[in-house]
Amino acid sequence: MSHQQHDNTWRLLQDHLDEWVNLSKAHTSEGHVASYIPELANASPDILGICIMDSEGNTKVSGDSDFPFTLQSISKVFTLILALMDNGEEIVFSKVGMEPTGDDFNSMLKLELVEPGIPFNPLINAGAIAISSLIKGNTTDEQIDRILHFFQHIADNPSLSINQHVFRSESDTAHRNRSLAYFLKDNGVLDGEVDDVLRVYFSHCSVEVTCTDLARMALVLAHNGVDPIRKRRLIPRRFVQIAKTFMFTCGMYNASGEFAMNVGLPAKSGVSGSILTMVPGQYGIGLVGPALNRKGNSTAGVHLLGILSQEFDWSLF
């Protein structure tokens, strides 16, 4: 992208981002805040905030961009990358597949329906639980520590931490994830004890961030694993390529096709209402809007990304 293009984008964002956020905010009323993790139900449904970061770390923020939230499923992108860095492709893809499911993110349907009984991809809950078991560490605490440090490293923010209320709230109520994990254990997909693997999984879902942290993490992916601000490689290019491909095909779950059509960027959503996305080679983007649609994606967030993609012709196609 030329400097002039960047300057134009930045000026248009300066002039219109608040207006676009307000337009999209109206769509919060179409969704509902997740309540199956009781602690998440405390978020107010009309929140919408966004941060867009350029390669020098300049930001454009709008709306409730200071609102803290937990990564939830967005964490799965980064645990996948860490599992690849720890084990390599061959081992990782002996435990999870590479295909979208068309089913809900917490579905167990295909685990029994299709042989071999490994999760279809690493971004659905079953797949991410399998990935959690692949993170290296002598103890469960060490696995969790390594994940947290890796997230802090990518986000360039040593103060990222686990929200213990959200962790406990999920851990106390995660009957479906528990059943998924036992199913995986029976299918020979999980190495460790079910309770230990789930503690790793709930911990990385409960790491608390802001839109700025998300945008910062996305920026590293936008630059294929090189941090353009610290000017060094944090992730091997191939593993970012794998992660972004999954984000494109499965990142918005069974709404990934529709999102690809309307926005056309690799993205990952979380049930906290968060979305991490990027304009390859250019911007990292983080947003939060806790009111979700039926598929578990932020109603207002998806709307806002549709506007931005159209305004700036950001679709990859």
Q: List contacts with ligand DON (CB under 6 A).
A: 72-73, 105-106, 125, 170, 177, 205, 269-271, 296
Query: Catalytic annotation on 73?
Result: yes
Instruction: Establish whether 76 is a catalytic residue.
Output: yes
Cβ atoms within 10 Å, residue 32: 15
Minimal distance, residue 123 CB to ligand DON, in Å: 9
Catalytic residue among 24, 201, 288, 309: 201
Q: Any known ligand binding at 274?
A: no
Supply φ then ψ for residue 37, to 5 degrees: -105, 100
Supply the angle between the helices 140-155 and 194-205 in degrees, to the nearest 10: 20
In terms of DSSP bridges, do strands 49-53 and 267-269 run parallel, antiparallel, or are they unpaired? unpaired
Q: CA-CA distance, 102 to 298, in Å (whole number)?
A: 18
Residue of minimal Cβ distance to ligand DON:
73
User: Binding site annotation covers 288?
Assistant: no
Residue whose CB is less far from ligand DON, 59 or 254: 254
| 106/262 with CB nearer ligand DON | 106
283 annotated as belonging to a binding site for a ligand = no
Q: In this structure, how many other beta carbons lie within 10 angstroms of the beta carbon of residue 198?
A: 24
Is 206 a known ligand-binding residue?
no
Beta strands 207-209 and 232-233 are unpaired
Q: Is 201 annotated as catalytic?
A: yes
- Cβ 36 to ligand DON shortest distance, Å: 7
What is the nearest approach in angstroms of ligand DON to the Cβ of residue 102?
Answer: 15
Could you tell me the CA-to-CA distances from 67 to 23, 25, 48, 208 in Å, in that order? Answer: 19, 15, 9, 10
Is 253 catalytic? The answer is yes
Bond from prior residue into 68 cis (ω within 30 degrees of 0): no
Exactly one of 76, 95, 110, 268 is catalytic; name it. 76
The tokens for 240 are 């970012």
Least distance in Å: CB of 145 to ligand DON? 19
Query: By three-state DSSP, how is residue 306 classified?
Result: helix
Nearer to ligand DON, 238 or 294 (CB): 294
187 among annotated binding-site residues: no
| SS3 call for 50 | strand
Q: Which is nearer to ligand DON, 119 or 270 (CB)?
A: 270
- Residues with catalytic function: 73, 76, 201, 253, 271
